């Protein structure tokens, strides 16, 4: 073999070198990636991870600090769009039932519980069985199966937030947990005839109340029972979370023994709302009602904000409820709303006690006073700066006059006046009208109990021209027929109401006749029905012309929860519609 051949064999042929693939450039700015575009985030993350093997030397399979931050950000963008992510199921699948139960314990509203329960089957099994059916319980005292169930299952009794005890004759449906398997007859025994059925019911109820450690609302409407609220109140004093107490029982206004000193020291720090009302039934009514029981209960409520005392005067009782105990001894620094109905101030200092009571509560914003015992010679003698924050008042004419004329450093933010009834005589009503015109410039809502003639309406309109909500009440003269019929003088009413430029709602007078809006388009409609529709259209145009902001007036039916709404069109026309409101047309 030649030397040339040997040399050619020993020297291998040189191969062309392949250039190394450059790492793809990735934008590391986090704000440049849209959270609604998981596909781009996935492609960028895939290319970033795939480029690690092509990096030279010691940089292979290593991310820079910016690339590491970017990769975590891209994972956060992709995760919500991935169906099977174990981290998103940790709260539901891996937490013990006790932890989930403790979390749901802090949710009070049933609607919130329902929304949480439908999130998954696991939460549904915890919420519906242990919380949803126990937040609100409404039953009778005789439903001992419910009390026994709560006594046995004390872990479920602590989930009760609202407890309503109905009257034995009530027709309302009970609201009790579905998991109760026993009946009232299962708990009967031969000892009931000896001990007394009411004693047994009281024992079960008190035992159940001791287990309701998170109770916030307690409503007692048990008027036809031998059990009194006095038997239950000592147990309620142990419930520190109680914030609302409503008692509807004739027994609450009967005599009782004075409370002991050790019980007076116990207070309910969370109690903010208290309501005491009598019923129209004869059972439990007394000839001489008083506030001794109410006073003993209120001694344990130093942080009251809303107080309502209403005596409805059952047939077995006479007169009204003396208010001296309330005005002399009741003092609550945080009281913002007070409502008393059918109370009287006894002669010899009763009105002075009421004046002192009002002066001692400067935070009162809503005041409803239905008290008797006032005359032209005995009036409220209010001190300076009494009720400086008053926004709403409902009281007789003379009481409102005394409050309006009481001097204050700054004008009161009074916006609503209710319960006014003018006498029809200018000499008698002049003091109130003058006070309203001078000190009631900010009144936006006026609700009267009644009126005699158009002069009363003109005087009110002249004294309060900035009213936007006006309720004239019922016509006091002319008999019942005058109240039920439709007004035959809408032009006069429109002229009077035109002096209220901000009027948007007016009640007390029915301007519209009973008719359907579509009756004019029906071929079978009678001439009388069509004339009523035309009459209603004319009235709607008249009211809209005279009162440019008027929108709501009374419906032609009484207590129908409907109102007539005036709709203004772009071309200047006016239409009227009958609409249903939630509660009443005057709300």
Give the Cα separation of 313 and 310 in Å (integer). Answer: 9
Give tens-digit pLDDT for 434-449. 999 999 889 999 999 9
- Expressed in angstroms, the distance from the first to the final Cα of the chain is 120
pLDDT above 90: residue 24? no
Confidence of residue 2 (pLDDT cuts 50, 70, 90): very low
Average pLDDT over residues 232-251: 92
- pTM equals 0.77
Q: Of all residues in the chain, what percent carry a pLDDT higher than 90?
A: 40
Give the Cα separation of 565 and 577 in Å (integer). Answer: 5
Query: CA nearest 360: which of 328, 392, 399, 391?
Result: 328
Confidence of residue 87 (pLDDT cuts 50, 70, 90): very low
What was the pLDDT predicted at 525? 53
Q: Which two tokens stand for residue 93?
A: 């699948």
Give the three-state DSSP class for 203: helix
What was the pLDDT predicted at 21? 52
pLDDT above 60: residue 303? yes
In 37-187, where does DSSP find H-type helix? 38-50, 65-78, 97-104, 110-117, 121-127, 144-152, 154-157
pLDDT above 90: residue 246? yes
Mean pLDDT rounded to a whole number for the chain: 83
Identify the structural domains of the chain with CATH numbers, from first to last: 29-82 (no CATH), 90-128 (1.20.1280), 136-319 (no CATH), 486-587 (no CATH)
pLDDT above 60: residue 14? no
Give the three-state DSSP class for 178: coil
What was the pLDDT predicted at 119? 83
Confidence of residue 474 (pLDDT cuts 50, 70, 90): confident
What was the pLDDT predicted at 68? 86
pLDDT above 60: residue 151? yes
What was the pLDDT predicted at 531? 86
What was the pLDDT predicted at 199? 83
284-321 burial code (b ≥16 CB/10 A, e <16): bbbeebbbbbbbbbbbbbeebbbbbbbbbbbeebeebb
Give tens-digit pLDDT for 94-109. 678 888 889 899 999 9
Confidence of residue 212 (pLDDT cuts 50, 70, 90): very high
pLDDT above 50: residue 143? yes
Q: Please enumerate in sequence order all residues whose Cβ is within 8 A of that of 327, keeping only pairs 6 or more positions apart, or say none.
A: 345, 350, 353, 354, 356, 357
What was the pLDDT predicted at 79? 79
pLDDT above 90: residue 272? yes
Confidence of residue 92 (pLDDT cuts 50, 70, 90): low
Give tens-digit pLDDT for 310-330. 988 755 455 678 888 889 888
Question: Where on the phi/psi map is residue 336: left (φ > 0), alpha (ψ -120 to 50), or beta?
Answer: alpha
pLDDT above 90: residue 75? no
Of residues 391 and 557, the one with the higher pLDDT is 391
pLDDT above 60: residue 20? no
When computed from its CA atoms, the radius of gyration of the chain, rounded to whole angstroms, is 37
Give the three-state DSSP class for 371: strand
Q: Which two tokens stand for residue 281?
A: 């039934």
What was the pLDDT predicted at 91? 53
316 within 8 A of 282, measured Cβ to Cβ: yes
Average pLDDT over residues 327-339: 92
Of residues 282 and 85, the one with the higher pLDDT is 282
Give tens-digit pLDDT for 292-302. 889 989 999 99
CA distances, 576 to each of 96, 426, 506, 518, 548 (Å): 60, 37, 15, 11, 14
pLDDT above 90: residue 29? no
Query: CA nearest 103: which of 130, 65, 71?
Result: 130
CA distances, 290 to each of 250, 278, 341, 350, 373 (Å): 11, 12, 13, 15, 16
Residue that has been written with the tokens 């000839």 in this structure:
287
What was the pLDDT predicted at 3? 45
Give tens-digit pLDDT for 532-582. 888 999 999 999 999 999 999 999 887 768 899 999 888 878 999 989 887
pLDDT above 70: residue 26? yes
């Amino acid at each position: 073999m030649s030397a040339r051949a040997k040399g050619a064999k020993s020297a291998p042929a040189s191969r062309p070198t392949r250039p190394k693939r450059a790492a793809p450039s990735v934008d590391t700015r986090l704000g440049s990636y849209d959270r609604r575009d998981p596909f781009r985030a996935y492609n960028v993350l895939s290319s970033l991870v795939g480029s690690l093997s092509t990096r030279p030397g010691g940089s292979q399979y290593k991310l820079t600090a910016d690339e590491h931050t970017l990769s975590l950000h891209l994972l956060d963008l992709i995760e919500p769009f991935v169906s099977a992510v174990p981290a998103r199921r940790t709260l539901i699948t891996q937490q013990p039932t006790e932890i989930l139960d403790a979390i749901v314990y802090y949710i009070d509203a049933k609607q919130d519980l329902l929304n949480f329960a439908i999130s998954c089957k696991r939460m549904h099994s915890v919420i519906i069985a242990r919380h949803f059916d126990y937040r609100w319980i409404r039953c009778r005292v005789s439903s001992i199966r419910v009390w026994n169930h709560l006594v046995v299952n004390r872990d479920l009794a602590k989930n009760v937030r609202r407890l309503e005890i109905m009257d034995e004759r009530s027709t309302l449906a009970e609201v009790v947990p579905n998991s109760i398997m026993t009946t009232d007859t299962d708990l009967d025994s031969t000892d009931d005839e000896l001990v007394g059925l009411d004693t047994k019911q009281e024992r079960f109820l008190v035992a159940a109340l001791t287990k309701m450690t998170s109770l916030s609302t307690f409503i007692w409407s048990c008027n036809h029972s031998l059990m009194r609220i006095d038997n239950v109140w000592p147990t309620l004093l142990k419930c520190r979370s109680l914030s609302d107490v409503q008692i509807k029982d004739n027994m609450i206004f009967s005599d009782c023994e004075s409370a002991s000193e050790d019980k007076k020291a116990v207070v309910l720090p969370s109690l903010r709302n208290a309501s005491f009302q009598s019923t129209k039934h004869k059972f439990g009514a007394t000839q001489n009602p008083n506030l001794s029981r109410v006073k003993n209960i209120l001694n344990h409520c130093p942080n009251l904000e809303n107080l309502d005392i209403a005596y409805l005067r059952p047939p077995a009782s006479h007169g009204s409820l003396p208010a001296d105990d309330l005005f002399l001894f009741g003092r609550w620094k945080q009281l913002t709303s007070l409502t008393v109905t059918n109370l009287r101030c006894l002669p010899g200092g009763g009105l002075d006690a009421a004046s002192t009571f009002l002066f001692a509560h400067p935070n009162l914003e809503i005041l409803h006073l239905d008290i008797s015992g006032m005359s032209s010679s005995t009036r409220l003698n209010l001190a300076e700066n009494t009720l400086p924050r008053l926004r709403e008042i409902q009281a007789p004419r003379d009481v409102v006059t005394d409050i309006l004329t009481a001097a204050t450093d700054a004008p009161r933010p009074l916006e609503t006046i209710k319960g006014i009834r003018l006498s029809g005589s200018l000499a008698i009503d002049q003091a109130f009208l003058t006070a309203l015109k001078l000190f009631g410039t900010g009144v936006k809502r006026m609700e009267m109990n009644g009126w005699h003639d158009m002069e009363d309406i003109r005087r009110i309109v002249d004294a309060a021209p900035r009213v936007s909500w006006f309720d004239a009440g019922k016509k006091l003269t002319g008999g019942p027929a005058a109240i039920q019929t439709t007004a035959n003088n809408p032009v006069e009413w429109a002229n009077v109401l035109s002096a209220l430029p901000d009027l948007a709602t007016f009640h007390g007078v029915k301007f519209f006749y009973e008719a359907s809006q579509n009756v004019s388009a029906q071929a079978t409609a009678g001439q009388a029905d069509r004339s009523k529709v035309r009459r209603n259209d004319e009235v709607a145009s008249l009211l809209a012309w005279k009162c440019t902001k008027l929108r709501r007036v009374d419906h032609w039916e009484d207590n129908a929860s409907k109102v007539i709404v005036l709709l203004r069109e772009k071309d200047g026309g006016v239409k009227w519609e009958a609409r249903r409101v939630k509660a009443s047309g005057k709300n």
